[in-house]
Amino acid sequence: MPASQKTKQSQFHNPVSFEKAVRILRAGKVCAFATETVYGLGADATNCDAVLAIYATKQRPRFNPLIVHCADLEMAHKIALFSPLAEKLTPLWPGAMTLVLPLKPDAGVCDLVSAGLKTVGVRIPGHEQARELIKALGRPLAAPSANPSGQLSPTSSAQVRQMFDDKVPVLEGEPSSAGIESTILSVIDNRIVQLRPGTLPREEIEQKLRVKIELVTKNSKIAAPGMLASHYAPRAQLRLEAKAPEPGEAFLGFGDIGANETIAKNLAKNLSTAGDLEEAARNLFSFLYQLDASGAWRIAVAPIPSAGLGEAINDRLTRAAAPRKKIKDQAPGITGA
């Protein structure tokens, strides 16, 4: 093997086998793993040192609670209190839905996981390997998205390694099939409130399960503390609802984007030529990541319909485009879960 290639390969020394991932987690350390939504940065939710290591690795503010991933309903029931209304939602598990529920006093998870709140976010991931990992650990797995706080969420193991300079062990897996985080629903006081739009569209849940989901408003008492105005931020600025790119801009298209000089120069990506929202969600973070890496100062983004999964896609784009207080000099991707 040529020396240059050797160096490149040995740069990535952190892909770990399933057994090693279990050993790392048992030892109270962090390990990234694939889920169907985005990659997670996992640690034993019952071990405070391990949970602290998540906050430190991500440089995440401690007020921002973590989702507790469970292998099955039995594990979830030990941690959170399920009202009859919450039980009505559980047929969507395993899957891309997180429920924020009252935390059981004897849940056994470290206080830092819920950042001192009386509630806890729980999810049974749809990804089989993720559930197997939790089963093998035998304990719930606290896991935020595996990105430095505020940056784009990673949808592949390579992105996780790049974002953390290969300092985080990653259980090797396929790229995430959904590409956008879970839908977060708070089920408190017999009301369902969507705290974060995500992979499972609200209307679809309402229709399937015959429930009513309220939207979170500025006056809502509850909120996901991590839903900062500026989030999912690439280094480049974003210009939304753009029909076509201007000179110097990269372009993130959707549907039929026609021919254009930028497109011809390969500074463009199309989320879905067919105008398919699922395909667009799957591509969103990785295409933003790639366009950001091109060095363009701004990325123009085509209008995306707001129905169904479009709600979550537009939510992420709006936060990625929001003014930032501080843009660190890192590349690619940057700043707040």
Q: How far is the CB of 273 from ligand TXA (least distance, A)?
A: 26
Q: Report the alpha-carbon distance of residue 291 to residue 277 in Å, rounded.
A: 19
**H or E stretch including 27?**
none
Size of the site for ligand TXA (CB under 6 A): 28
Taking CB under 6 A as the criterion, the residue among 21, 32, 109, 123 binding ligand TXA is 123
Taking CB under 5 A as the criterion, the residue among 114, 145, 194, 314 binding Mg ion is 145
Q: Report the alpha-carbon distance of residue 163 to residue 271 in Å, rounded.
A: 22
Beta carbons of 124 and 76 less than 8 angstroms apart: yes
Residue closest to ligand TXA, measured at CB: 226
Q: How far is the CB of 68 from Mg ion (least distance, A)?
A: 15
- Listing DSSP states for 95-134 in one string gives SSEEEEEEBPTT----GGGGTT-SEEEEE--S-HHHHHHH
Angle of helix 310-321 relative to helix 277-293, nearest 10 degrees, comes to 20
Q: What is the SS3 assignment for 224?
A: coil
Residue 145 vs 272, nearer CB to Mg ion: 145
- Supply φ then ψ for residue 99, to 5 degrees: -105, 130
Q: Report the alpha-carbon distance of residue 302 to residue 257 in Å, rounded.
A: 9
Binding segment (CB under 5 A) for Mg ion, from list 139-147, 246-254, 270-278, 315-323: 139-147
- DSSP class of residue 295? T
Q: What is the SS3 assignment for 196?
A: strand
Contact between 337 and Mg ion by CB under 5 A: the answer reads yes
Q: How far is the CB of 270 from Mg ion (least distance, A)?
A: 25
Q: Report the alpha-carbon distance of residue 185 to residue 284 in Å, rounded.
A: 22
- Other CB atoms within a 10 A radius of the CB of residue 52 amount to 16
Burial level of 305, CB count in 10 A (0-12/13-18/19+)?
Answer: middle
Q: How far is the CB of 195 from Mg ion (least distance, A)?
A: 13
Q: How far is the CB of 124 from ligand TXA (least distance, A)?
A: 10
Residue 145 vs 283, nearer CB to Mg ion: 145
Contact between 315 and ligand TXA by CB under 6 A: the answer reads no
Residue 153 vs 272, nearer CB to Mg ion: 153
Beta carbons of 286 and 234 less than 8 angstroms apart: no
Contact between 230 and ligand TXA by CB under 6 A: the answer reads no
Task: Give CA torsion, residues 249, 255, 259, 263, to 10 deg.
Answer: 30
Taking CB under 6 A as the criterion, the residue among 86, 195, 267, 317 binding ligand TXA is 195
Residue 270: name its binding partner from ligand TXA, Mg ion, none (Cβ under 5 to 8 Å by kind): none
Residue 41 vs 296, nearer CB to ligand TXA: 41
Beta carbons of 245 and 268 less than 8 angstroms apart: yes
Binding segment (CB under 6 A) for ligand TXA, from list 115-123, 161-169, 200-208, 273-281: 115-123
Q: How far is the CB of 153 from ligand TXA (least distance, A)?
A: 7
For residues 22 to 61, the per-residue mask of contacts with ligand TXA, x marking binding by CB under 6 A and - elsewhere, is -------------x-xx-x---------------------
Beta carbons of 213 and 274 less than 8 angstroms apart: no
Residue 98 vs 286, nearer CB to ligand TXA: 98
Q: Residue numbers of the site for Mg ion (CB under 5 A)?
A: 145, 337
Q: Residue numbers of the site for ligand TXA (CB under 6 A)?
A: 35, 37-38, 40, 64-67, 98, 100, 114, 117, 119-121, 123, 143-145, 181-182, 184, 195, 224-227, 337
